A and B are shown apart, each in its own frame.
Chain A
Amino acid sequence: TQLLEQSPQFLSIQEGENLTVYCNSSSVFSSLQWYRQEPGEGPVLLVTVVTGGEVKKLKRLTFQFGDARKDSSLHITAAQPGDTGLYLCAGARSPDYKLSFGAGTTVTVRA
């Protein structure tokens, strides 16, 4: 059983559509991070959220951390083919800062 439940597992949409990826847990995290990973490469950090209720925007990407710091979402507006990749959420809990990863969401944006 994974600490972080990420959904959906796969998402295939047309260019220009919006998408949302969810990350849920029954545990409280000191911070939650979102990564994007391309095949054969390490994960690249997109954002870190640390405050309950926090919303961060990164161009067309909007990240939200739940009030109770147990869940998070990633919303992409007007998706582009370059957004294709594996999106991973990961929660950190003090004191050892080990990251617990969600199962990942494979996003495919068709031109």
Chain B
Amino acid sequence: GAVVSQHPSWVICKSGTSVKIECRSLDFQATTMFWYRQFPKQSLMLMATSNEGSKATYEQGVEKDKFLINHASLTLSTLTVTSAHPEDSSFYICSATGSTGNTIYFGEGSWLTVV
């Protein structure tokens, strides 16, 4: 079964609104979580790395004020897309790893459509 769960699986929101996506580790403590964005038929693009209890580290070109990441506990990280626009429509995927970093587990992904 899944060890990392994302919610919601898909969401449609109106342009200008904010939407939150959750990423939970189900049976391990995720010291580090990663957020990716993926466009159709393309690879995963890392957006940010979040460590529990500290601010997320964003990749170059990713707006931290637009993509708010919170990693408040060892089992939960959230990505909030603020003031969403149609160009933010994409497949968002999280992954999580424990303290050793040996194995990285991916969530099922969340489809965001902004209309």
Contact = CB atoms under 8 A, between A and B. Distances in A.
Interface of A: 2, 6, 31, 33, 35, 40-45, 48, 86, 88, 90, 92, 94, 96-104, 106
Instruction: Choose among A42, A97, A102, A106 the residue with the greatest number of B CB atoms under 10 Å from its CB.
Output: A42
Interface string B40-84: 011111100100000000000000000000000000000000000
28 contacts: A6-B43, A31-B102, A35-B106, A40-B91, A40-B109, A40-B111, A41-B109, A42-B106, A42-B107, A43-B93, A44-B106, A48-B102, A86-B41, A88-B43, A88-B44, A92-B104, A94-B101, A96-B49, A97-B32, A97-B97, A98-B34, A98-B46, A101-B44, A101-B45, A103-B42, A104-B42, A104-B43, A106-B41
B95 A99 contact: yes
Interface residues of B, number: 24
The A contact surface, by secondary structure, is strand
